[in-house]
Amino acid sequence: MPLYCLHCLDNETDGAARRAATRPAHLEWVASLGDTCRMAGPLLSEEGGMIGSIFLMVAENAAAARALNAADPYTKAGVFGRVHISETRWAYGEGKPA
């Protein structure tokens, strides 16, 4: 099944506040995805503050990857200002599926 990278940058107006308010629901949602989510974590500024999120998700197609993004509590709460979704292939590194 295809692998998608979701590169999500917080909106610069109030993304940090929305992120803080929605974080528990977001973490619960990510945990509920099981093997669909191969990797997830925050994107950090040079100062160490959270400025976005990155995911590696297994999905049937690009539409399914967009649907996963739409279901994220961060997306629903307006945390993200920009989201880029691209199909990728895991060429190297620990955790590569067999």
pLDDT at 75 over 80: yes
Domain ranges of the chain: 3-88
How far, in whole angstroms, is CA 60 from its chain's centroid? 17
pLDDT at 91 over 90: no
Provide the CATH topology of domain 3-88. Answer: Alpha-Beta Plaits (3.30.70)
Six-digit token string for 47 = 């100062």
pLDDT tens, position by position, 16-63: 999 999 999 999 999 999 999 999 999 999 999 999 999 999 999 999
Is the dihedral angle over the CA atoms 76, 81, 84, 90 positive or is it negative? negative
Q: What is the pLDDT, as a whole number, of residue 98?
A: 63
pTM, rounded to two decimals: 0.91
pLDDT at 93 over 90: no
Give the strand order in the sheet containing 50-58: 37-44, 50-58, 3-10, 80-88
